[in-house]
A and B are shown apart, each in its own frame.
Chain A
Amino acid sequence: MKSYLPLIIGMGLVTYIPRVLPLLFLTNKELSPKLKQFLQFIPYTSLSILIVRGILNATPDMLFPTLIGIGVAGIFAYFKSSLVLSVLAAIFSSYIAMNIF
């Protein structure tokens, strides 16, 4: 049987390096206000992209349940529900959406 170890180690390295370098070089550095603002916008832009990507990449039969799940979670969280409760409500409603339609 073929060994996956070299692949795993290689993948581990190229995943870890992008995670560690910015932390080591940027933490506790004085950054210009514009750069700081840019970095502070990243959580919003990356989350938006991950959500849109999830919708764009959903298989046709999963598209509707995915939209329902995202919508329910967003609405629950918007009206001050906890993160866990919002996620549970989303799972529940997408499960129903999947089995009804």
Chain B
Amino acid sequence: MNKKYIKEGAIAALPVILGYLPVAIAFGLLSKNQGVSFKETGLFSSLVYAGASQFMALDLVKAGVSAGSIILATFLLNLRHVVMSASLSVKLNEVKKTFLPIIAYGITDETFSVLSFKNEKLTMPFVLTFNILASLTWVVGTLIGYLMGEIIPSSLQASLSISLYAMFAALLFPQFKIEKRTMYLSILTAIIYITIYSTKLFTSGWDIILGIIISSALGVALLNKNEEVSEN
């Protein structure tokens, strides 16, 4: 039975691998160009494992911002994983508690999205296989980029970097067919986020967290049906 879940986990990881590889390569290349050592670049991707904040950190280091401020900015940017991780906890009842810290390490926007829209309950071998392949791609891709990122033409890199957004759209849109109210929820969310974004009152990080909380809460207030919500 385990074999089946491992295979499913590997298949589910494919789109994430496809999305991570070019972004990881770009990070490795940028990191090298900024004079970060090979070892530290590898540690960046394995210990932090958060794409957007790693790029941001390189940018801020270049601008001469202190380590403390960069860490604080990273914290704010990644605080959204609190709500994602909380949301995922509802689906992880079958997983042994001792494995939760390992699974937690692998929660990113991308892995969270794929895991959330999986219809069945999440099993340990499935999640572990899926998470390991995703994080391995991130680390290996970073190192490949460090060693030989120059050989990839920049126009191809740019179009490959769209793949993460493509994956988000490919996960979200089919849900509209399954449950119509999720479409209304997405439209509502887009309007709310664009409003928050254009006020420019919130730094990157807070705008995402606020957007998620406000629109999910409004969703509960406006779109909650009285019937029992379907399991998982």
Contacts and interface: CB of A to CB of B under 8 A. Distances in A.
* A and B are interacting partners: yes
B53 A51 contact: no
Nearest to B183: A44
A12 B71 CA distance: 9
A46 B212 contact: yes
Nearest to A7: B67
Given A8-B48, A88-B18, A53 B166 contact: no
B192 to A, nearest CB: 9
B216 A42 contact: yes
Given A50-B109, A90-B162, A14 B71 contact: yes
A21 B82 contact: yes
Most buried by A among B93, B114, B229: B229
A83 B159 CA distance: 17
Interface residues of A, number: 75
A60 interface: no
B70 interface: yes
A87 B114 CA distance: 13
Contacts of A24: 97, 100-101, 104
**Interface range on chain B (Cβ under 8 Å from partner):** 35 or more
Contacts of B190: 48-49, 52
A8 B70 contact: no
Contact of B193 (A25, A38, A49): A49
Interface of A: 1, 3-12, 14-16, 18-29, 31, 33-34, 36-56, 62, 65-66, 69-78, 80, 83-84, 86-88, 90-91, 94-95, 98-99
24 contacts: A10-B68, A14-B72, A19-B78, A21-B85, A22-B83, A23-B92, A25-B89, A28-B97, A33-B229, A38-B220, A41-B220, A42-B87, A44-B185, A46-B208, A48-B185, A49-B189, A49-B190, A51-B165, A53-B193, A66-B162, A69-B162, A84-B15, A90-B169, A94-B162
Interface of B: 14-15, 18-19, 35-37, 40, 43-44, 47-50, 53-54, 57, 61, 67-68, 70-72, 74-75, 78-90, 92-93, 95, 97, 100-101, 103-105, 107, 109, 112-114, 116-117, 155-156, 158-160, 162-177, 182, 185-186, 189-190, 193-194, 197, 208, 211-212, 215-217, 219-220, 224, 228-229
